[in-house]
Homo-oligomer: A and B are copies of this chain.
Amino acid sequence: MLFFTQCFGAVLDLIHLRFQHYKAKRVFSAAGQLVCVVNPTHSLKYAPTRCAAAQASTEQGTLPPCHHHEVVHDSQLVPCTCPLFSCPWEGHLEVVVSHLRQTHRINILQGAEIVFLATDMHLPAPTDWIIMHSCLGHQFLLVLRKQEKYEGHPQFFATMMLIGTPTQANNFTYRLELNRNQRRLKWEATPRSILECVDSVISDGDCLVLNTSLAQLFSDNGSLAIGIAITTSKVHSSEAEM
């Protein structure tokens, strides 16, 4: 009996996901765009994080990997960069992706342009929506975070990090695009390296920032669709284009 109940639950979940997938497809109608439904994870770490600890030790004169940007080489160990967990894991940059997939069950998607469909936007802060994106021979981590910078006023912050060094990150440009209700918001920037802390990128506000009312305008039935595109940008030409 329990088995049948579980099966029925799973079928309902599949129908729900399929429905959300079609909704996103309707909005992002460009052919060939992958739509990935991303469920929220209530953020488990808001204890002093590895980055905060690293920052403290920097102030004491030692240089931890987290703030050791340009000097980090692939041969060095990096800490677990998953923004969700205070995880004790350390490893080489090359194995960060498999660690994030296997230990933290973060999905990875292929393709130059994908649609990130974050569900259950109404959940209370702090909440994270995370996915990895494989593109142009590199892997990127997209983080959408709901956080209360000002008490009682949750905001949404979205950024993209390269799972690589800051020098490698400088070769790319990422674009996040929201499009609904006769409004369009586009954010374009150079991705940060995963060796920098996602927490500090978000607390600096150097990312796509949405207040709750704008997030609602761009949401459809509690889900927010973000179009993502990554391009190479050896010479960043955007400042001359406008």
Q: A182-B239, A186-B186, A206-B213 are in contact. List 19 more A-B contacts (CB 8 A).
A: A27-B242, A28-B242, A149-B153, A177-B242, A179-B238, A182-B189, A183-B187, A183-B189, A183-B190, A184-B187, A184-B188, A184-B189, A184-B238, A185-B185, A205-B212, A205-B213, A205-B214, A206-B217, A209-B209
Q: Mark A103-123, 1 if CB is under 8 A from B, else 0.
A: 000000000000000000000
Interface size of A by Cβ–Cβ distance < 8 Å?
36
Residues of B within 8 A of A28 (CB): 242
Q: Is A166 part of the binding interface, using a Cβ–Cβ cutoff of 8 Å? A: no
CB atoms of A185 and B187 under 8 A apart: yes
Interface centre among A30, A184, A238 (most CB of B within 10 A): A184
Q: Does A5 touch B at the CB level, under 8 Å?
A: no
State whether A238 touches B182 (Cβ < 8 A): yes
Residues of B with C-beta under 8 A to A236: 182
